[in-house]
Structures are given as structure tokens and as C-alpha cells.
């Protein structure tokens, strides 16, 4: 790709208008305040980190290693308050660029401490979004900045091209590591294996999850494996063809609805990232011109910020209408369904348009597809070389780490509920069928299996404070129960995956009995 072609792709692929970007800015702020609900929803609430002991603080490589533990509660309270105020300022378009950078920075700090507890979620695109869009001048219209004459009238389209590239790389790092991990092997069904783990180990058994126990044909499972890998890999070369990129993003929206219904896992924060590539100019034309009066807006910004800080999103009240055994929420499920309906509606509208006026494949379009195929081949070769020389890690941008250690040994925690009279055995076990007691789902607590195993295997004495902390983390679920916590060690072998179950401790509401070998 020569310089002229690169310039055309970067600056001409997406040509938003000031009103279109303003509509997306307002939609983004409302989406985060009403659906993400920072400070109140489980995955975007950083307050509980203040109550964790410093032994839980295991930061990944990066600036979080400058800290020795979690900050106090007032720190996270201030972070959430500033975050709500920044989002409301972004909604009204007040100091838009500063509000955008503050939003991204505060999310980055919060997730930095959250990820230091062990569990890393896929939110990097969501965090980078306000930073990237701040360069588009999305406060040029329908904003206090525009009303006060602070915003220049011109807007930029290249941040959308950059966001598309980041999205493509993020999905590519997920898809290519699946490819290296054998997802295309017809002898195995990776989707079904992942599904079975979520169903039986994690306890995600809501909505359509029971289908995993149905005798579905192997070809259908293979179709899921191949479809997932090709969709995630295909987004990166599709960046060069905006129409194709939008089509694959539409499929990603349907894919996320499928994971919500079948796996009970939602990636609701990704929906607003994909929404950046909707035709917001068309949306903006359906709304009357918005004229903001500065005086009442300056009063509303702090009032709304405080209201969201203290009371959260009113939409969260919908979650009480339906309860799930998994950590799925009704609000997130409805967001996925709404996004899928929007995609299907746009697809039907586009189909009607094409049926009325069939469009042949023009020479420029054919050339674009050829260039996309060549780009895909080059990217695959470069990526294979980088991954092959760096032990499965794509070192320039390892965004999605879930599958980046494919084929490597792993460690997790399993909790079993023992009967009151059942004896405790400290022997290492080899098969799930030999485990004592009954499965205890961790989704009834605030614990994640990764965080739990990091805590119980941390090399520090099991003093009274550490035992009490563990009991507090399980909370009321300990009442009337004896829980056995085991370390599960998995490693690939010639026969498949070799498992070892090592008992760590037995936990009740009053006592913590630790494995004799771990006693000081």
C-alpha cells in the first residue's frame, strides 16, 4: 500500500459530519451512564477492591507495579465521582476533549487496579474509545463548547479509521490464538468444550445453555469453531474495506447475542464500540436541532453527576424483574437483544434497497477485494512469525489474553460442598469423578476462580487475618456449609489434558482448616 492509498484509507474511509459525531457522543455517554453504570454494576464497580488484602494485589507488568497494594475506599469513591461527572460533561459537550480524556484515564486507572486482583477482562477497546474519539472533535455540534464558541466547526474522520484498526487487531489476537490452539481441528470441538466448562464448572445454566447437553451433530460444533475463528480473524483485513468491516461488525453483534443466550456471557461494553461505525449522520437528521442554554446546563452537570454517583442508573431496577443463576443481568441481555434487532433492521433495509436497484461489482470494488485478500495473506504470515517466536504472545499488541496461552499449563480453583460428616482427605486426585462432595458455584459469591486461586496459593502465612478475609469473601454462603477449596492443575499430554486436584483448605463460617503441608 503506497502513501496515497494509505492516505485515502485513513482520511476518506469514514467521513462523519459534526452532527453525526455529536449524536454518537451523546449515545456513548448515555450508554455508559445507563447500561455500564460505573460504580454500581458488578464488573464496573471498583469500590470492593479497597477491602481486599494486599496479598490479592498481583499487578501485571506495567505502571500498576509502582503500587504496593490497593488504595483506600476514599480513592475509589473519588474515582467514581469524577468518572460520573466526566461522563455527564461529555453528554452535554462541556470541555469535550478534557472530559473524553478524563473518562478514558479514570477507566484505565480503575481497571488497572481491578486487573491487579488477577482477572483480566476484555475492556481495552471500551477504555480507548473516548481517547480516540476526542481527536475527531465530536464536540463540534450539539454541545456547550459549540454554543460558547470554544469548538472548531471541522471534524476528523481518521480517528474512526484508527478505531477500526484497533478493533481489528483486538479481534485478530483472539482469533489467531484460537487458530494456533487447534480450533479448526475436526477431531475436537473447542466451542463445546468451552461451553461445557461454563455450564458445569462455572454454573452458567440460564436461557439456552441447556442445549450443550443435547446430542447436536459434530458438524454443527465444527461450524461454530470455524465461524468464530474466521469472524475474529477476518475483521483485521476487512478494515481496508469499510463496507465489509461494517458487515462483520454486524455479525459480531449477533455473535455476542449468541454467547449471551448460550454461554450466559455478555460483552455489552463492546456494543458501543461497534456502534461508532453506524450511520450517525442519518440518525442525527431525524432529531431536531439541539440548542443548549449554558446556564441551566452548568447546574445540571454536577446534579446529574451526583445523582448517578449516589443512585446509579435507573435501568438497573429492571434487573429485579428477572433473576439468573449465572451472573447474567436482564439489562445486559436486553442491550444485546436491542443491538441485534438494530442490526437485523438495517440488514432488511439494505436488502430491500439492493433488490430495488441491483448493483454490479464494479472494477474498483473488485480491486478492493483483491487487495483485502492480499493484505490478509501478508498479515497471516507476519502474525505467524511473531507468534511463533514469542511463545504464543503477539507482543506488539496482545489485547485479548484469554487464549494467548493456548497449549500451556494452567491453574484454577474448584470449590466443593462437603457433607457435615464427610471426612477431609488431603490426597491429590486425578479425575473429576473422584472429587468429594458436590459442586459449589462461585457465581453466588463475589469471587472469581482466578482471584481465589491466587489468594489461597499465595506464599504467605495463614494467620488469623488471612483466614478471616477468606471467610468474609465467601460471605453468607458459608452459613451451614463446609467448603473444600482445591487447586486444579491442568497440563497438555499425549492423551489430552492431564488434571491434578490438590486440596488446599476446608472452610466453614467459624474455621479455616489448611492443608498440613501449607501450615507454617
For residue 418, list its beta bridge partners: 482
Mean pLDDT of 438-464: 79
Three-state DSSP state, 456: helix
Q: Give the C-alpha separation, 366 to 258, whole Å.
A: 32
Q: Give the C-alpha separation, 371 to 40, whole Å.
A: 46
The length of the chain in residues reads 520
Q: Give the C-alpha separation, 431 to 413, whole Å.
A: 15
Range ranked top by mean pLDDT from 268-272, 374-378, 383-387: 268-272
**pLDDT, averaged across the chain:** 87
HSE, side-chain direction, 13 A CA sphere, residue 253: 28
- CA quadruple 362, 364, 366, 368: dihedral, nearest 10: -150
Three-state DSSP state, 308: helix
Residue 390 has pLDDT above 70, yes or no: no
pLDDT for the residue numbered 465:
82
Helices 449-456 & 464-474 angle (0-180, nearest 10): 170
Nearest to 160 by CA among 136, 142, 128: 136
Instruction: Summarize the chain as % helix, strand, coil (round to 5).
Output: 60, 10, 35
Mean pLDDT of 276-289: 86
Residue 399 has pLDDT above 50, yes or no: no
Rg of the chain taking only CA atoms, in angstroms: 25
Q: Which residues contact 212 (CB under 8 A, 6 or more apart)?
A: 192, 195, 196, 199, 262
pLDDT for the residue numbered 370:
79
pLDDT for the residue numbered 397:
44
pLDDT for the residue numbered 120:
75
Three-state DSSP state, 503: strand
pLDDT for the residue numbered 387:
59
Question: Which contiguous run of DSSP H or E holds residue 404?
Answer: none
pLDDT digits (tens, 9 = 90+) for 233-278: 999 999 999 999 999 999 999 999 999 999 999 999 999 999 999 9
Cell matching residue 391: 511463545
Mean pLDDT of 40-47: 89
pLDDT for the residue numbered 400:
44
Do the beta carbons of residue 278 and residue 343 sit within 8 Å? Answer: no
Nearest to 442 by CA among 470, 410, 462, 463: 470
Cell matching residue 167: 478493533
Residue 414 has pLDDT above 60, yes or no: yes
Residue 220 has pLDDT above 80, yes or no: yes
What proportion of the chain, given as a percentage, has pLDDT over 70?
93
Q: Report residue 402's pLDDT band, with 50, 70 and 90 as the boundaries.
A: very low
Mean pLDDT of 111-127: 87
pLDDT for the residue numbered 386:
65
Residue 448 has pLDDT above 80, yes or no: no
Residue 214 has pLDDT above 70, yes or no: yes
Q: Give the C-alpha separation, 38 to 473, whole Å.
A: 22
Mean pLDDT of 281-299: 82
Q: Report residue 389's pLDDT band, with 50, 70 and 90 as the boundaries.
A: low
The residue ranges of every structural domain in the chain are 17-156+293-322, 177-265+328-406, 410-518
Residue 292 CB neighbours (<10 A): 18
Mean pLDDT of 205-209: 90
Residue 106 has pLDDT above 80, yes or no: yes
Cell matching residue 110: 480503575
Amino acid at each position: 500500500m503506497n502513501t496515497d492509498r494509505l492516505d485515502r484509507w485513513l482520511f476518506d474511509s469514514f467521513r462523519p459530519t459534526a452532527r453525526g459525531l455529536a449524536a454518537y457522543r451523546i449515545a456513548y455517554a448515555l450508554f455508559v451512564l445507563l447500561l455500564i453504570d460505573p460504580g454500581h454494576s458488578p464488573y464496573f464497580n471498583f469500590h470492593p477492591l479497597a477491602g481486599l488484602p494486599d496479598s490479592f494485589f498481583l499487578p501485571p507488568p506495567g505502571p500498576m507495579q509502582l503500587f504496593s497494594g490497593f488504595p483506600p475506599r476514599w480513592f475509589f469513591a473519588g474515582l467514581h465521582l469524577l468518572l460520573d461527572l466526566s461522563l455527564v460533561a461529555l453528554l452535554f459537550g462541556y470541555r469535550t476533549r478534557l472530559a473524553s480524556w478524563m473518562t478514558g484515564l479514570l477507566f484505565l486507572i480503575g481497571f488497572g487496579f481491578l486487573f491487579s486482583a488477577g482477572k483480566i477482562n476484555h475492556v481495552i477497546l471500551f477504555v480507548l474509545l473516548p481517547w480516540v474519539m476526542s481527536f475527531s472533535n465530536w464536540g463540534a455540534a450539539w454541545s456547550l463548547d459549540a454554543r460558547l464558541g470554544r469548538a472548531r466547526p471541522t471534524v476528523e474522520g481518521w480517528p474512526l479509521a484508527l478505531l477500526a484498526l484497533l478493533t481489528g487487531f483486538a479481534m485478530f489476537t483472539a482469533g489467531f490464538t484460537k487458530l494456533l490452539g487447534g480450533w479448526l481441528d475436526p477431531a475436537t470441538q473447542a466451542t463445546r468444550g468451552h461451553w461445557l466448562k461454563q455450564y458445569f464448572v462455572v454454573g452458567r445454566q440460564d436461557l439456552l445453555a441447556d442445549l450443550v447437553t443435547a446430542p447436536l451433530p459434530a458438524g454443527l460444533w465444527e461450524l461454530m469453531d470455524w465461524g468464530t475463528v474466521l469472524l475474529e480473524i477476518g475483521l483485521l483485513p476487512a478494515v481496508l474495506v469499510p463496507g465489509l468491516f461494517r458487515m462483520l461488525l454486524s455479525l459480531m453483534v449477533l455473535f455476542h447475542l449468541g454467547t449471551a443466550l448460550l454461554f450466559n456471557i455478555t460483552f455489552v461494553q463492546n456494543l458501543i464500540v461497534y456502534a461508532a461505525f453506524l450511520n450517525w449522520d442519518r440518525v442525527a437528521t431525524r432529531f431536531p436541532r439541539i440548542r443548549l442554554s449554558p446556564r441551566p446546563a452548568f447546574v445540571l452537570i454536577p446534579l446529574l453527576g451526583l445523582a448517578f454517583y449516589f443512585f446509579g442508573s435507573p435501568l438497573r431496577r429492571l434487573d429485579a424483574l428477572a433473576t439468573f443463576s449465572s451472573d447474567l443481568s436482564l439489562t445486559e441481555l436486553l442491550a444485546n437483544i436491542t443491538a441485534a434487532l438494530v442490526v437485523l433492521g438495517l440488514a432488511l433495509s439494505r436488502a430491500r434497497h439492493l433488490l430495488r436497484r441491483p448493483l454490479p461489482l464494479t472494477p474498483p470494488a473488485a480491486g478492493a477485494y483483491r487487495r483485502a485478500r492480499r493484505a490478509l495473506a501478508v498479515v497471516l504470515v507476519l502474525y505467524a512469525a511473531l507468534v511463533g517466536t514469542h511463545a504464543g504472545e503477539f507482543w506488539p499488541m496482545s489485547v485479548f489474553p484469554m487464549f494467548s496461552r493456548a497449549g500451556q499449563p494452567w491453574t484454577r480453583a474448584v470449590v466443593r460442598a462437603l457433607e457435615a460428616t464427610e471426612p477431609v482427605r488431603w490426597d491429590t486426585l486425578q479425575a473429576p469423578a473422584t472429587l468429594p462432595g458436590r459442586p459449589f458455584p462461585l457465581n453466588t459469591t463475589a469471587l472469581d476462580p482466578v482471584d481465589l486461586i491466587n489468594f489461597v496459593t499465595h506464599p504467605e502465612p495463614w494467620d488469623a487475618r488471612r483466614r478471616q478475609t477468606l471467610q468474609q469473601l465467601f460471605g453468607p454462603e458459608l452459613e451451614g456449609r463446609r467448603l473444600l477449596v482445591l487447586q486444579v492443575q491442568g497440563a497438555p499430554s499425549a492423551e489430552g489434558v492431564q488434571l491434578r486436584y490438590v486440596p488446599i483448605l476446608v472452610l466453614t463460617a467459624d474455621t479455616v482448616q489448611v492443608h498440613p503441608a501449607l501450615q507454617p
